[in-house]
Amino acid sequence: MNNSADKTMDGPDAQIASEERLAALFKKLDTRGVGHLDENDLRRGLARINHPLKDAEQMLRDLLKAVDTSNDGLIQFSEFKVFFAGAEKELYRIFNSVDSDGNGNIDRTELKQALQRAGIVVNPPEKLEQFFRSIDSNRDGVISFEEWRDFLLFMPHEPSLRTIYSYYLSTVNVNPEGDVNVSDEVNLQGLGSLSFFLYQTPQGPTPEVEGALRLDSPTITKIPLLDVPLVSWLWPGLGYFFAGGIAGALSRTATAPLDRIKVFLIAQTRKSAVDAAVKGQAAIAAQQAARPLADAVASIWRSGGMRSFFAGNGLNVVKVLPESAIKFGSFEAAKRTLARLEGVEDVKEMSSASRFIAGGVGGVVSQFSIYPVDTLKFRMQCEMVDNGSRGNKLITETLMKTWKNGGLSSFYRGLPLALIGIFPYSAIDLGTFELLKGHYAKKEALRTGIDENDIKLPSWMTLVIGGLSGSIGATAVYPLNLLRTRLQAQGTAQHPRTYTGMWDVTMRTFKEEGLRGMYRGWTPNMMKVIPAVSISYLAYEKGKTAMGLK
């Protein structure tokens, strides 16, 4: 034990300094200046000082219960001072027990040895480095008492080295990029629930702090156990993939009939409406322009009723699960990587250019991964004819026919167009969504006086922003997607034409159908993309919130 340090903590000067520090801290937390703290005050105050506990809702409530000894739902300064003065003293004693050389700082070796002496197994070994870096806020390679105190002061329980490490594991969610997010999720090995470190007494005092935990602490009422969300501790990034995959599957299934109509129209090469427009016959042009949509619905219905409108939806779901998961997951990873390169800790502070790049990266990676399934889906839909094969038989026949026409390369026809198109689409789509979302949060923060990080996007706003960003992106790159789809569907029953490559399909389409032909099927696509993108983003945001992901 560092005796000089004890004198520093126990002396009258230190007591005065501690009270002044706690008074200043209370003032910072009291954002309304009313002289007490309720749950919302505590949340806003922790966000104001950027404390990692600001996002852990359940632990905030537990902290309020622990400090509020009068049980009136408010924390008075007298209650605040008693609780945190005792907590600070206990944390200081534990700090000194870990600081074996008594130099006033804890290095990695001292922390590792202290955990080993306490019988705490750190697995995997990288978790120790993450634990250390979470507390070492100034990244100078050592943990000062101030850093130790600031990180652990708000633990709503009696500290020990074992419970401190459990607190870290259960509240700090380190994603694959090394950023630290805090949630109520539990990341414990063998502990199993939040109640372990909040309410259970360790099997014995940690050896190096024997006798250090004898101060009276407020009594905390036990609450129900909180189960461990497997996805969070197995791999935090996996949550993004699950949220994206589920969102994509829901949105594509809901809009499958519109997608079916769009592909049907793209496969058609009739140009009667264009000819009428060129000849100045506006009324005829308008009538014939509307006819393809009605003809498409009638033709699809004749080929198998309502079931025909969902042809290829099974492949679409199989495709969209990995596609959406990779797209959203890659986008989140790219955002954090680019934010780190820009030198900003919060992805909300990154530049718009980086948001666009991150969106493009997500789109390119996902498109390349699922392209063969995409091709099979389009060709299957274009092989549907009256009294023809259906279901798995049609999928098998289409698969074999495509393979015979060129092997593996035939499944990647139009890939360059897809990659050219997907980057600007994803950049506009995802980038615009994040930009508008951030703008809304800033505007609401100014209007309400609440910290920007505490602004929650309403469901209706998520729908509006998602629909707008998706529509803009889809319209911008629609001609590229039409040409790509025709390359994929060439040689099928509904699109028997074949092409030599990108230039051939572009020239023939433009020459025969003009610019209007480049947007064939755009109407059902817009009818599809607005609900599809909206549902996708809404489900994704809700999924991230449910998993405690940022």
Same structural domain, 455 and 323: yes
- Cα 392 to chain centroid distance, Å, stands at 35
End of a domain among 234, 251, 269? 234
pLDDT in tens, the chain (550 residues): 444 444 345 544 455 556 787 788 888 888 888 888 888 888 787 777 766 565 566 667 777 787 888 888 888 888 888 877 777 777 788 888 888 888 989 998 888 887 777 666 665 666 777 778 877 878 888 989 888 877 776 655 554 555 555 555 444 433 222 233 333 333 222 222 222 222 223 333 333 333 333 333 333 333 333 333 444 434 445 666 677 677 777 877 888 888 888 888 888 876 544 343 334 444 444 444 456 778 878 888 887 788 778 887 788 777 766 776 777 778 888 888 888 888 877 776 778 778 778 877 877 888 788 888 888 888 888 887 777 777 788 888 888 998 888 888 888 898 888 888 776 776 777 778 888 888 888 888 888 777 776 677 776 677 678 778 778 888 888 899 899 989 988 888 888 888 988 999 999 998 888 888 888 888 888 887 667 766 776 777 777 777 666 5
**CA distance linking residue 477 with residue 467, whole number of Å:** 16
**CA distance linking residue 149 with residue 373, whole number of Å:** 54
Contacts of 439 (CB under 8 A, 6+ apart): none
Same structural domain, 282 and 328: yes
CATH number (domain holding residue 57):
1.10.238.10
Q: What is the pLDDT of residues 293-349, one digit of tens each?
A: 788 788 888 877 887 788 877 887 777 667 767 777 788 888 888 888 888 777 767
**CA distance linking residue 204 with residue 118, whole number of Å:** 10
**CA distance linking residue 516 with residue 271, whole number of Å:** 10
Same structural domain, 367 and 277: yes
pLDDT at 69: 83
Same structural domain, 265 and 198: no
State the pairing for strand pair 36-37/172-174.
unpaired
Q: pLDDT averaged over the chain?
A: 71
| Contact assessment for residue 95 and residue 146, using Cβ atoms and an 8 Å cutoff | no
Same structural domain, 208 and 313: no
| Contact assessment for residue 2 and residue 96, using Cβ atoms and an 8 Å cutoff | yes
Q: Which residues, in sequence order, are bridge partners of residue 106?
A: 143
Contacts of 301 (CB under 8 A, 6+ apart): 308, 309
Q: Which residues, in sequence order, are bridge partners of residue 116?
A: none
Q: What is the pLDDT of residues 242-259, one digit of tens each?
A: 776 777 778 778 888 888
End of a domain among 198, 216, 234? 234
pLDDT at 145: 85
CA dihedral of residues 136, 137, 138, 144 (deg, nearest 10): -50
- DSSP state at residue 73: S
Same structural domain, 147 and 172: yes
| Contact assessment for residue 86 and residue 217, using Cβ atoms and an 8 Å cutoff | yes
CA dihedral of residues 189, 195, 200, 205 (deg, nearest 10): 50
Same structural domain, 470 and 393: yes
DSSP string, 18-46: HHHHHHHHHHHH-TT-SSEE-HHHHHHHH
Same structural domain, 172 and 286: no
pLDDT at 280: 41
CATH number (domain holding residue 356):
1.50.40.10
Structural domain boundaries enclosing 501: 238-546
pLDDT at 293: 78
| Contact assessment for residue 108 and residue 131, using Cβ atoms and an 8 Å cutoff | no
Same structural domain, 346 and 307: yes
Count of domains forming the chain: 2
Same structural domain, 397 and 484: yes
Same structural domain, 206 and 259: no
pLDDT at 89: 78
End of a domain among 179, 206, 234? 234
Same structural domain, 261 and 121: no
pLDDT at 507: 92
pLDDT at 529: 66
